[in-house]
Structure 1
Amino acid sequence: MSGPEIIPFDWQRIWLGDAPPLFLLEIVFRTVVIFVWLLFLLRLTGKRGLAQLSALELVIVIALGSAAGDPLFYPEVPLLHAMLALALVVGFQRVLARLVVRSERVEAFMEGQPVELVRDGVFSMAALERANLSREDLFEKLRAQGVLQLGEVRRAYFEQDGHLTVFRHDADPPPGLPVAPPWDLEPPSVLDPDLPQQGFVACLDCGRVQQAAGLLPGCACGGLAGWTAATTDPLAGPGRAG
């Protein structure tokens, strides 16, 4: 059974649909009611729920948006039904929030666990995979915190809320793999493995630094990208290399 024939560019249908013009005033009323009710419910979720979205909170926001949107302009959706659905969603969020506080297992299941990405200037590709990050993502986050090279970083943790926490050397950091400038703009030069090298070199696969005295060995990480000169300040030019 086919529906009514659709007439292209029917301005009455496009702008007003089948509802009478007075229904526009009802939409205004519905919007005000749902907006005030949703604002009240969001106040109950607390400030953290508004400032940072975990996976659970993102689901809550999507559910709230779906429940709040339909009654704004669908006349067949009663306001009380939508308000009950919104209240249930927020109530479910509050119950889970309390469980997260009281149970570490529930917290780990709902929000995940921090991941150590960098230790003493060396990053882990396995940890990056667990955090669903690429090497470029890590370097971008480090540059945003003013890190020029990995030797500056004692520890870097990818937190549950998606932020990167970095603990740096207070002064005189050792040389490390450069993360600035971005490699897409200025990739580090790869040292020739067939030529003897002197000084500190950094593995391009993990950032591990060692002092070269002759031909370059393989890195303990098993990477094949090779080595580059480790540096204390990659933006200062060759004269400041470590």
Structure 2
Amino acid sequence: MSGPEIIPFDWQRIWLGDAPPLFMLEIVFRTAVIFLWLLLLLRMTGKRGLTQLSALELVIVIALGSAAGDPLFYPEVPLLHAMLALALVVAFQRILTRLVVRSERVETFVEGVPVELVRDGVFDLSALHRSNLSRDDLFERLRVEGVAQLGEIRRAYFEQDGNLTIFRHSGDVPPGLAVVPPWDLEPPSVLDPDLPQQGLVACLDCGRVERVGGLLPGCACGGTSGWTAATTDPLAGPEGPARFADSA
């Protein structure tokens, strides 16, 4: 069964639809009611910023947005039904929040656990995979934190809220795999595996640093991307401080 014929550029349909003009006043009323009700409910959910939303809070935001949207302008959606749905969403949030506080198992299920991504300048490929991060994603986050090369990092953790926590060396910084400039702009130079090499080299797959005095070995991570010179300061110019690690 076909619906009514649609007339293109029917300004009455485009601007007002089938509702009478007075329905616009009802939309004002509906919007005011839902807005105030939602504001009251959100006051009960806590004050965490949008950049710190956990998985639970993100679900709450999506559910609240979905439940609050339709009654604003759909005349067939009663306000009380929408208000009940919003209240139930907030009630579920409060119940889950209490369970998270009281039970470590529930907290782990709802919010997950931190993941160690970098240890002593070497990043864990399996941990990146579990965190749904690529190597480029990790390097981008490290650059935002001012990290120039992986040797600067003692530990890096991917937290439950999606932030990256970094613990740096407090003294002399060992050399490591450069993360600047971004590899998309300036790829690192790959050492020729058929030529003898001297000094410290970094694995392009995991960042592991090895001292070599001959042909390049295979890396313990099993990567196939090869090796590049380990560096203490990737941004140092040719005339500046030693760009690559001391080969002595």
TM over 0.5: same fold? yes
Q: Aligned residue for 1:137? A: 137
- Give the whole-Å Cα distance in 1 for the aligned partners of 2:51 and 2:91: 19
Give how far 1:51 is off: 5.0
CA RMSD of aligned residues (A): 1.2
Q: Which amino acid aligns with 1:114?
A: P
| 1:148-167 correspondence to structure 2 within 5 Å | 148-167=148-167
Determine helix, strand or coil for the equivalent of 2:88. helix
| CA shift in 2, pair 1:51/1:131, >3 Å | closer
Q: Aligned residue for 1:46? A: 46
Q: Which amino acid aligns with 2:92?
A: F
Q: Is the 8 A contact 1:49 1:57 kept in 2?
A: no
| CA shift in 2, pair 1:49/1:94, >3 Å | farther
1:240 matched to 2:243? The reply is yes
1:60 matched to 2:60? The reply is yes
Q: Which amino acid aligns with 1:117?
A: L
Q: Is the 8 A contact 1:194 1:215 kept in 2?
A: yes
Q: Aligned residue for 2:222? A: 222
Q: Which amino acid aligns with 1:54?
A: S
Q: Aligned residue for 1:17? A: 17
Q: Aligned residue for 1:188? A: 188
How big is each residue's C-alpha offset from its partner over 1:144-166, in whole Å with a ceiling of 9 and x where there is no partner? 00000000000000001000000
Report the TM-score, using the length of structure 2 for normalisation: 0.94
| CA shift in 2, pair 1:117/1:51, >3 Å | closer
Q: Which amino acid aligns with 2:244?
A: A
- Give the whole-Å Cα distance in 2 for the aligned partners of 1:190 and 1:20: 71
How big is each residue's C-alpha offset from its partner over 1:216-242, in whole Å with a ceiling of 9 and x where there is no partner? 111111111111000000000353321
Q: Aligned residue for 1:84? A: 84
Determine helix, strand or coil for the equivalent of 2:225. coil
Determine helix, strand or coil for the equivalent of 2:48. helix
Unaligned runs of 5+ in 2: none
Q: Aligned residue for 2:72? A: 72
Q: Which amino acid aligns with 1:101?
A: V
Unaligned runs of 5+ in 1: none
Report the TM-score, using the length of structure 1 for normalisation: 0.97
- Give the whole-Å Cα distance in 2 for the aligned partners of 1:34 and 1:47: 20
Identical aligned residues as a percent: 83
- Give the whole-Å Cα distance in 2 for the aligned partners of 1:221 and 1:52: 33
Q: Which amino acid aligns with 1:34?
A: I
Give how far 1:171 is off: 2.7
